[in-house]
């Protein structure tokens, strides 16, 4: 009984410590100075330290961690069930211990998420660090920037290798190999985007990511950027750039989409430039379609056949995944996750990249029309 008391005390202390960390985070998350300090002095160094370990192996440590976590949960439940069967007289004691260990594990994972990544949602983001802010934009400017993106997209399309069927023919391996140079040019213009990049990890179970409608994910527990290797390759460079933006400590999805476009479209690699403009056009075009279908249709018809083919291939790939209940359930769950960390628009915040893109390219678009 004495040993049990010591074990229970350890569990309660563990639970209390993890709960205290979570409470501190929630009490201080609106304190921008505190969150900036936590991001700069803990989250960022911890991310670099974790990635320095995880990137010693070429495969995704995220997948290993998730697999081990599932195995641990199943093993724990089986062990608890066996103990209950063998020791019916100690059922209350066994259940109490199991509940406390389970609670300790869950709170530890949640507390780690808060301090390894959650702080980034409340610290200065790309807009504050770069001085470029989203603002309301006119329909005229949105149409002009969409037209500008389409023109650049057509130009970039001519530089990308194609196979005999006209499909995008740059290998995924080659795209990942060029990842280290994606931010070199834009970092000269926007210094806060400078970073010693580590290449994204290809995910073996990419089909699972597709079922969840994920093209990439930054895993803060290992400091890794992970990418879906099954979805169409034409948008893989933009996905790589997006996940590398997360690796720089930016949590906002809209800001990382914006950074991805800026990095990819200014990269030396032709596949990255094409993918960046394609990614920009998709966001801008979707927004214009909702606001002015006629203007969208005019620009859509101006696209090169190669671009139209890539858009069709991408839409065809994702269509079955958009129609299954798994992806819808995950999107609802992720929507709640974003809102928990202050992304008040939830998944809809991905569309807000349009404001940033329109403001950034507005002058260039106006000049191109004059």
DSSP 119-176: GGGTS--HHHHH--------HHHHHHHHHHHHHHHHHHHTTS-B-TTS-B---HHHHH
Q: Do the Cβ atoms of 91 and 22 come closer than 8 Å?
A: no
Written as six digits, the tokens of 137 are 């934009």
DSSP 11-43: HHHHHHHHHHHHHHHHHHTT-HHHHHHHIIIII
The one-character DSSP state at 107 is H
Query: In this predicted structure, what is the pLDDT of residue 346?
Result: 44
Q: Do the Cβ atoms of 127 and 250 come closer than 8 Å?
A: no
CA atoms within 13 A on the CB side of 89: 0
Closest listed residue to residue 170, CA positions, set 234, 261, 240, 265: 234
Stretches in the chain below the pLDDT threshold 50: 1-2, 327, 330-331, 334, 346-350
Per-residue pLDDT tens for 277-288? Answer: 999 999 999 999
Query: In this predicted structure, what is the pLDDT of residue 330?
Result: 44
Residue with the two structure tokens 């997948």: 63
The alpha carbon torsion through 48, 49, 53, 55 (nearest 10 deg) reads 0
Query: In this predicted structure, what is the pLDDT of residue 352?
Result: 76
Written as six digits, the tokens of 100 are 């406390």
Q: Residue 174's Cα: distance from chain center in Å? A: 21
The one-character DSSP state at 235 is G
Q: Do the Cβ atoms of 306 and 157 come closer than 8 Å?
A: yes
Query: In this predicted structure, what is the pLDDT of residue 326?
Result: 52
């Amino acid at each position: 009984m004495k040993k049990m008391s010591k074990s229970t005390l350890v569990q309660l202390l563990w639970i209390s410590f993890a709960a205290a960390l979570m409470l501190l985070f929630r009490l201080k998350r609106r304190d921008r100075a505190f969150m900036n300090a936590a991001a700069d002095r803990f989250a960022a160094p911890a991310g670099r330290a974790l990635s320095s370990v995880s990137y010693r192996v070429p495969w995704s440590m995220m997948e290993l961690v998730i697999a081990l976590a599932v195995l641990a949960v199943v093993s724990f439940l089986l062990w608890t069930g066996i103990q209950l069967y063998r020791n019916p007289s100690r059922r209350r004691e066994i259940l109490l211990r199991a509940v406390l260990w389970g609670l300790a594990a869950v709170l530890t994972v949640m507390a780690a998420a808060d301090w390894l990544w959650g702080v980034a949602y409340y610290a200065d983001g790309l807009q504050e660090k770069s001085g470029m802010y989203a603002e309301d934009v006119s329909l005229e400017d949105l149409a002009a920037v969409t037209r500008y993106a389409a023109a650049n997209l057509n130009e970039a399309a001519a530089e990308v290798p194609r196979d005999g069927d006209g499909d995008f023919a740059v290998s995924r391996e080659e795209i990942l190999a060029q990842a280290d140079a994606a931010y070199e040019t834009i970092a000269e213009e926007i210094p806060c985007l400078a970073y010693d990049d580590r290449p994204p990890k290809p995910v073996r179970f990419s089909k699972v990511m597709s079922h969840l409608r994920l093209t990439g994910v930054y895993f803060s527990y290992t400091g890794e950027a992970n990418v879906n290797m099954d979805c169409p390759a034409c948008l893989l460079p933009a996905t790589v750039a997006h996940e590398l933006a997360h690796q720089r400590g930016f949590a906002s999805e809209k800001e990382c989409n914006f950074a991805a476009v800026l990095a990819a479209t200014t990269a030396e690699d032709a596949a990255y430039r094409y993918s960046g403009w394609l990614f920009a056009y998709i966001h801008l075009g979707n927004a214009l379609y909702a606001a002015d279908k006629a203007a969208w249709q005019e620009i859509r018809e101006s696209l090169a056949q190669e671009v139209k083919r890539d858009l069709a291939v991408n839409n065809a790939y994702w269509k079955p995944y958009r129609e299954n209940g798994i992806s819808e359930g995950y999107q609802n769950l992720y929507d709640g996750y974003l809102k928990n960390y202050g992304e008040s628009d939830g998944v809809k915040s991905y569309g807000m990249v349009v404001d940033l893109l329109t403001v950034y390219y507005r002058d260039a678009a106006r000049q191109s029309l004059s």
